Amino acid sequence: MKIVKFAIPKGHLSEKTLEILNRAGYNISGDDRTYRPIINDPNIELKVLRPQEIPIFVSEGMQDVGISGRDWIQETHADVEIILDLEYSKVNLILAVPKNWITINSLSDLIEKCRKENKILRISTEYLAAASDFIKSNSTYKSLWKDSDPIIITPWWRTGNNEKVQIYLSFGATEAKPPEDADAIVEVVDTGTSLTQNNLKIVETIMNTSALLIANKQALKDPEKSEKIKDILTLLRGAVDGAKKLHIFANVKKENLEILLVTLPALKNPTISPLSDPDWVAVNTVIDKTKFLEILPSLRKLAQGLVVYEPRQVLPLEEIANGKEWI
């Protein structure tokens, strides 16, 4: 079988990525500083890269699959197949301005403020393309400047044709830029604590982002690589789904079984097994974690010997076999 090249992220996504790979059944070894860790699958070759780079490397075929944030996939405009939302590192890409700008509560307000004051609107961000796309989609911007592109400024190049709106590449400490060096920032936030500490407020949410499993479109057309990518998908999706489920075992009197089954939101029809006592049966099923407290009163009244644990994985074999593998 051909080797599948799998790029995993360095930095803030690293810890959660290693956790979900471990939960999926992969053992990864190597020094913390190595960029080529070893995985317990001889047909997978791991490489550690920055999440900003991974979408492009996957798109261009240098890597077959990878994990990166939705923000960087959209920022790079990478032509990749998104095959699974891994549902961790959930953050928002936002537009923020100084908190004491009481009358500014949207991008339109900010554009109008700068226009009335006859000043350039300056935005600081790492997300140059995402910021430009978002600004150009704004109705006020369109009414003033049509399809013109905001000026994007980096130390190496300058592009765009609308001098009234300028986007500056930030190399970090973006929250510190307003109000002296920028009117607004485009940044990812989790709790928003850093914004508060720097006297900023959110006025727009540009996108919700999380870690995604992505694949090269040509690799998906390769019969051998596609099979291994489906293996990776199966195990990772099983880990994602398993974290949201509970596995329940309970003994129930036959006379109470039908009542219990009405209230039990099983993943599939529950498995019913006879016990040595002919008046009792064992019920084995998987439920959503969110439903457990809802059904607990019924279980407490009707069941006996309840055992609950979180499954390591719930593998969607039937869906993937039927070709419903991509999100």
* Extents of the domains making up the chain: 4-89+210-242, 92-209, 245-312
Burial zone of 194 (CB within 10 Å; 0-12 exposed, 13-18 middle, 19+ buried): middle
Rg over alpha carbons for the chain, rounded to the nearest Å, is 25
**What is the phi/psi pair of residue 117, to 5°?**
-85, 0
What is the reported pTM?
0.87
User: 46 pLDDT band (50/70/90 cuts)?
Assistant: very high
CATH code matching the domain that covers 4-89+210-242, chosen among 3.40.718.10, 3.40.190.10, 3.90.1170.50, 3.30.56.10: 3.40.190.10
Give the burial class of 78: count Cβ atoms within 10 A of its Cβ; 0-12 exposed, 13-18 middle, 19 or more buried.
Answer: buried
Annotate 132-162 with b (16+ C-beta within 10 A) or e (fewer). Answer: bebbbebebbeeebeebebbbbeeeeeeeeb
Pick the CATH number of 245-312 from 3.30.70.120, 3.10.20.30, 3.30.70.1710, 3.40.50.11720: 3.30.70.120
Q: How far is CA 295 from CA 21, 133, 305, in A?
A: 32, 46, 15
Residue 205: its pLDDT value, please? Answer: 96
Rounded distance, CA 152 to CA 238, Å?
42
Structure tokens at 151: 């000026």
* DSSP code, position 269: S
- With CA atoms as reference, report the closest residue to 236 among 72, 17, 15, 1: 17
Segment 20-28 long-range contacts (CB within 8 Å, at least 24 positions apart): 20/86, 20/88, 20/236, 20/239, 20/240, 21/236, 23/239, 23/242, 23/243, 23/312, 23/313, 24/235, 24/236, 24/238, 24/239, 24/313, 25/235, 25/312, 25/313, 26/235
Q: Which of 90-94, 231-235, 257-261, 273-277 has the lowest mean pLDDT?
A: 257-261
Same fold, 4-89+210-242 and 92-209: yes
Smallest CA-to-CA distance from 257 within 224, 294, 285, 228 is with 285
Give percent of the chain above pLDDT 70: 95
Measured N-to-C along each axis, helices 292-302 and 254-263 cross at an angle, to the nearest 10 degrees, of 170
What percent of the chain lies above the pLDDT cut of 90? 70
For the residues 3-30, what does the mean pLDDT come to?
93
Class of domain 92-209: alpha beta
In the predicted structure, residue 139 carries a pLDDT above the cut 60: yes
